[in-house]
Amino acid sequence: MRLLMFNLATDTNDPILGFATRWIAALAKQVESIQVITMRAGRVDAPDNVRVYSAGKEKGYSEPRRAVEFYRHLLNVLRANRIDVCFAHMIPIFTVLAAPLVKAMRIPIVTWHAHRQVTTLLKLAHCLSNRMVASAESAYRYKHDKLTVVGQGIDADLFIPNGSGPDHPPLILSVGRLSPIKDQLTLIQAVDLLRHEGLYVRCAFVGDSPTRDRAYAASVKHRVQELGLASVVQFVGAVRHQEVVDWYRRSFAHVNLCPTGALDKAALEAMACCRPSVVSNEGFRSTLGEFSDQLVFRHKDAADLAAKLTRLLTISAGDREWMGLGLRQRVVEAHGLEQLVRRLCVIFEEVRTR
């Protein structure tokens, strides 16, 4: 199997998209070769059968220039290699840009999309793709006629408990960019409620804010000051993909506040580290299984979130450990990287032979 892959950012050190290099390395073990065309490249730890070509965003190239570079690399790859399958990862514009060329060469396209928005671009990519893949059914809001659910691809060898207990006082962790969709304000309100109930907890936010959300990030930090929580709430900023593992291990629970839609991988990473993830996304219920009622709270309901956290704080350490082990097993089975790669390779073979 010779694979052409389009990827948004290929950089091991990227705090948000660094996971993609581990996906590429895992896929490379199962295929003959992978040609990766990426919008932005940084540190790339790739096996010998992987070649990475950048459209130059890291060099400051404009969008028109990046489009030219994209097509230059695509043409060169198609001339020099016999490609069996094209895999477009994360954003549908890759599929739309490449389709005229790869379809002309009868190369099938598999597109990954896991986002709550349904755009005209997504609809076009859906039409042009032989198969659509997503982490969960709730992560794909358009037609399901071409959809196959493959899981989130959590590296269970990286996100693993180390045997140490959580910090004391208990640390509530939330990993993700500071953005309205992440709803950090609800967690801050819940922490304030816990403190008023006499439960001494701390809270850490790991992640930075994109430029468009700087005003929201400022409002979050201002709210912390208003509630007198400056000594309780910590804003860590962005950390490397590998370093976030230590934060999961230090926490007693992770909180994800996104609405129902795509599964946020941070919640699954925490569970892979044997830490409960309290979530408001109903799409997690199938993964949480028997723990759903304990860990799913009503979206934007700080009181309900505080109640769920209070229960976790008051159960025994043994019960939390048992819950953590159960959650890790469910994540590995449904969303593990090895399982993802196996499912993708089956799909690649199916679309190639058809």
- Please count the residues of the chain: 354
Over residues 58-69, mean pLDDT? 96
Long-range contacts of the stretch 121-125 (C-beta < 8 A, 24+): 121/92, 121/93, 121/96, 122/92, 124/92, 124/96, 125/88, 125/92, 125/93, 125/95, 125/96
Residue 104 banded pLDDT, cuts 50, 70, 90 = very high
**Token digits of residue 310:** 């209070």
Do domains 2-153+337-353 and 171-334 share one topology? The answer is: yes
Residue 167 banded pLDDT, cuts 50, 70, 90 = confident
C-alpha distances out from residue 236 to 71, 169, 219, Å: 39, 17, 16
Instruction: Give strand pairing partners of 5.
Output: 36, 87
pLDDT in tens, 216-231: 999 999 999 999 999 9
What does the alpha-carbon distance between residue 49 and residue 78 come to, in Å, rounded to a whole number?
16
What are the domain boundaries of the chain?
2-153+337-353, 171-334
DSSP string, 86-110: EEEES-THHHHHHHHHHHHTT--EE
Average pLDDT score, the chain: 95
CATH of domain 171-334: 3.40.50.2000
For the chain, what percent of residues have pLDDT higher than 90?
89
Task: Report yes or no: 172 and 294 within 8 Å, Cβ to Cβ.
Answer: no
Residue with tokens 């581990």: 22
Instruction: Record the pTM.
Output: 0.92
- CATH level 2 (architecture), domain 2-153+337-353: 3-Layer(aba) Sandwich (3.40)
pLDDT in tens, 309-352: 999 999 998 999 999 999 999 999 999 999 999 999 999 999 99
Over residues 81-85, mean pLDDT? 97
